């Protein structure tokens, strides 16, 4: 299947600092990527849809100024957690859509980034 | 977006076949059904995707009845390494992008 990578895999930061997480589609181009967060033993929660060359679309309750998303190329989307606080500690997962011939789509996920804010 | 309902958990033993059923009564005409597997601290891994009838790949089969209001993921001869959470999702493809909403998933425990 298609490969999606994330970097870093784990990050620890101090409260008040900003953290950038990268999501890359390694062997395909993705005009659309998604960002999710997941708390322990809970399901994934969609945060935002990242569209190449345009502004991201955020889900209700997700602060766009807190979670900055940039999708500058067809293989890279970044999520920046600004002024991070301990409650932002979570597992962040990105995904990218692979479109096959005939327009069937499949969403492939990255390995996730564990963020711990002290 | 169609809502899905799955059993919260299932138990099995090594070598057995496991069938996980998902209900999606409000599935729309353009919706596909996709199953993912997730291990702790990892991103979901694509297992299989289908629209109707039966789909089979090297790891699983997906059975979808004619009314498409449910689907069953079949894992043949499970092993301990199949212990994971399995998510059933439906989402519209071919209309721009497929926005997925995750449900609770099914936590499968495979014992020796």
Give mean pLDDT, residues B41-64: 95
Q: What is the pLDDT of residue B11?
A: 98
Lowest mean pLDDT among A41-50, B48-57, B91-100: B91-100
End-to-end CA distance of chain B: 38
Q: What is the pLDDT of residue A72?
A: 83
In chain A, % helix, strand, coil (3-state, to 5) comes to: 5, 55, 40
Q: What is the pLDDT of residue B92?
A: 67
The string of pLDDT tens digits covering residues B98-111 is 677 788 899 999 99
Q: What is the pLDDT of residue B1?
A: 58
CA of B78, closest CA in chain A: separation in Å? 21
What rounded mean pLDDT belongs to chain A?
A: 92
Residues of B near A (Cβ–Cβ under 8 Å) read: 32, 34, 36, 41-46, 49, 87, 91, 93-94, 96-105
Burial string for A9-38 (b: 16+ CB within 10 Å, else e) reads: eebebeeeeebebbbbbeebebbbbbbbbb
Q: What is the pLDDT of residue B98?
A: 61
A63 Cβ contact partners less than 8 Å away, ≥ 6 residues apart: none
| Gyration radius (Cα) of chain A, Å | 14
Does position A81 have pLDDT exceeding 60, yes or no? yes
Give mean pLDDT, residues B83-101: 77
- Return the top range by mean pLDDT from A44-58, A72-86, B81-95: A72-86
Does position B38 have pLDDT exceeding 80, yes or no? yes
CA of B112, closest CA in chain A: separation in Å? 23
Neighbours of B53 (CB within 10 A): 11
Percent of chain B topping pLDDT 90:
77
The answer to whether residues B107 and B10 touch, using CB atoms and an 8 Å cutoff, is yes
Which one, of A103, A47, A94, A101, lies nearest residue A75 by Cα?
A94
- Strand segments (E) across chain B: 9-13, 18-23, 31-38, 45-50, 53-56, 61-64, 70-75, 84-92, 106-111
A118 burial level (CB within 10 Å; 0-12, 13-18, 19+): exposed
CB contact residues (below 8 A), chain A span 14-43, against chain B: 31-32, 34, 36, 43
The string of pLDDT tens digits covering residues A32-78 is 899 999 999 899 999 999 888 888 999 999 999 999 999 989 999 99
């Amino acid at each position: 299947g298609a490969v999606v990578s994330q970097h870093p895999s784990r990050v620890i930061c101090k409260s008040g600092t900003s953290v950038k997480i990268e999501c890359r589609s390694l062997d395909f181009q993705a005009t659309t990527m998604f960002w999710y967060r997941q708390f322990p033993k809970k399901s994934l929660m969609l945060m935002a849809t990242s569209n190449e060359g345009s502004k991201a679309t955020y889900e209700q309750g997700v602060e766009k100024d807190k979670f900055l998303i940039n999708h500058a190329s067809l293989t890279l989307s970044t999520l920046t957690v600004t002024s991070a606080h301990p409650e932002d500690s979570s597992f962040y997962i990105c995904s990218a859509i692979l479109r096959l011939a005939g327009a069937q789509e499949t969403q492939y996920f990255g390995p996730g980034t564990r963020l711990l804010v002290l | 977006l169609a809502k899905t309902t799955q059993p919260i958990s299932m138990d099995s033993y090594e070598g057995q076949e496991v069938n996980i059923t998902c209900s999606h009564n409000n599935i729309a005409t353009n919706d596909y059904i996709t199953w993912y597997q997730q291990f702790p601290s990892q991103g979901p891994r694509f297992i299989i995707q289908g629209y109707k009838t039966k789909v089979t790949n090297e790891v699983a089969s997906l059975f979808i009845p004619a009314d498409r209001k449910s689907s069953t993921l079949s894992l043949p001869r499970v092993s301990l390494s199949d212990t994971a959470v399995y998510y059933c999702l439906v989402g519209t493809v071919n209309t721009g992008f497929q926005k997925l909403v995750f449900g609770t998933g099914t936590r499968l425990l495979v014992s020796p």
